[in-house]
């Protein structure tokens, strides 16, 4: 297992990989990927989720659904790092002939459990998977990563009620609580001031955790108990985390950098001019 220094170094490497993957393709939701990177890193690289490239067909594996499918760049780079598919595939992100589209596709990408991108459906899928495992008396977990803006969808709360009703305590939702959706703040749009209270009211166990702290995320995943209730981890995150021009800036929901921004990003992520030129020369 990596120590904290090694974790930080690996996360910086992945942050760089995410940017170059997007820059190469000229598309991608960078800020949304950066807010969920540590969550995915903790699950797959720190091995808090019990699934490997060799066990993706096992009935007893843990499963993860990226309901906020536009954060796919983080998922792809982490899955590649964990060995689910060759890293060369990242160079074909959002390109003809590649397996990696803008949102995850179950039938194309090894390790992807559900095709997502149309927001609001991931929790229903996860509840169904967890209920099936419960009926089959399996102990595997189903994880669902949600966006806070996504939680304005009514189907999220239908799934939340069903999960509580059927006591799906092996279902773990993770709320990427970055407070921004597209071009505005979530609180301004829907007026939610406490997600903890909202989920508790729907019958869920709630844990609140710093979403960019790998050690605390690990402890949180390891200490989840089974008490007859589904569990949600409200992870405090920053949209665009790790890149100054993106952090808490709504315009970066779906955007590529201009020249000035590119210089700042390249300096902060230690991307060389040669790496930028190589990324563009592929096409």
Reported as a single tens digit per residue, the pLDDT across 213-228 is 999 999 999 999 999 9
* CA atoms of 178 and 191, how far apart (whole Å): 15
Cα-Cα-Cα-Cα dihedral sign, residues 15, 18, 20, 26: negative
- Of 19-23, 42-46, 126-130, 250-254, the one with minimum mean pLDDT is 250-254
Q: What six digits make up the tokens of 225? A: 């108990």
Q: What is the pTM of this model?
A: 0.96
Measure Cα distances from 7 to 38, 101, 103, 225 in Å: 10, 27, 26, 26
Reported as a single tens digit per residue, the pLDDT across 233-252 is 999 999 999 999 999 999 99
How big is the chain, counted in residues?
283
Max Cα-Cα span within the chain: 56
pLDDT value of residue 189: 86
Q: What is the DSSP letter of 95?
A: S
Reported as a single tens digit per residue, the pLDDT across 47-85 is 999 999 999 999 999 999 999 999 999 999 999 999 999
| Partner residues linked to 145 by β-bridges | 66, 174
Domains annotated on the chain, with CATH: 4-281 (3.40.50.970)
Which runs of E-coded beta strand occur in 76-196? 142-147, 171-177, 180-181, 184-185
Residue 266 reports pLDDT greater than 70: yes
Instruction: Specify whether the CB–CB gap between 243 and 15 falls below 8 A.
Output: yes
Q: What six digits make up the tokens of 117? A: 């991108």
Measure Cα distances from 39 to 42, 74, 209, 220 in Å: 5, 10, 11, 11
For the chain, the average pLDDT equals 96
pLDDT value of residue 177: 97
Stretch 13-37: mean pLDDT, rounded?
A: 98
pLDDT value of residue 1: 56
pLDDT band at 188 (very low <50, low <70, confident <90, very high): confident
Residue 283 reports pLDDT greater than 60: no
Reported as a single tens digit per residue, the pLDDT across 5-23 is 999 999 999 999 999 999 9
* CA atoms of 158 and 160, how far apart (whole Å): 5
């Amino acid at each position: 297992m990596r120590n904290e220094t090694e974790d930080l170094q690996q996360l910086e490497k992945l942050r760089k990989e995410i940017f170059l993957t997007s820059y190469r393709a000229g598309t991608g939701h960078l800020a949304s990927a950066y807010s969920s990177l540590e969550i995915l890193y903790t699950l797959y690289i720190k091995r808090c989720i019990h699934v490997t490239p060799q066990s993706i067909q096992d009935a007893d594996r843990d499963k993860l659904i990226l309901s906020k499918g536009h954060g796919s760049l983080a998922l792809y780079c982490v899955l590649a790092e964990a060995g689910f598919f060759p890293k060369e595939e990242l160079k074909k992100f959002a390109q003809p002939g590649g397996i990696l589209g803008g949102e995850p596709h179950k039938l194309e990408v090894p390790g992807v459990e559900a095709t997502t991108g149309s927001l609001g459906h991931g929790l229903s899928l996860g509840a169904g998977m967890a209920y099936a495992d419960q009926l089959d008396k399996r102990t595997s977990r189903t994880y669902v990563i949600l966006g806070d803006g996504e939680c304005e969808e009514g189907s999220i709360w239908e799934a939340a009620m069903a999960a509580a009703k059927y006591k799906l305590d092996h279902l773990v939702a993770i709320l990427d609580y970055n407070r921004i959706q597209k071009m505005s703040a979530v609180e301004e749009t829907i007026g939610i001031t406490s997600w903890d209270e909202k989920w508790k009211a729907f019958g869920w166990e709630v844990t609140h955790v710093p979403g960019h702290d790998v050690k605390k995320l690990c402890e949180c995943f390891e200490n989840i108990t089974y008490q007859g209730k589904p569990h949600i981890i409200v992870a405090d995150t920053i949209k665009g985390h790790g890149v100054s021009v993106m952090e808490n800036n709504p315009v970066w929901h779906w955007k590529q950098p201009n020249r000035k921004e590119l210089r700042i990003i390249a300096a902060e992520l230690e991307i060389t001019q040669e790496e930028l030129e190589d990324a563009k020369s592929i096409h």
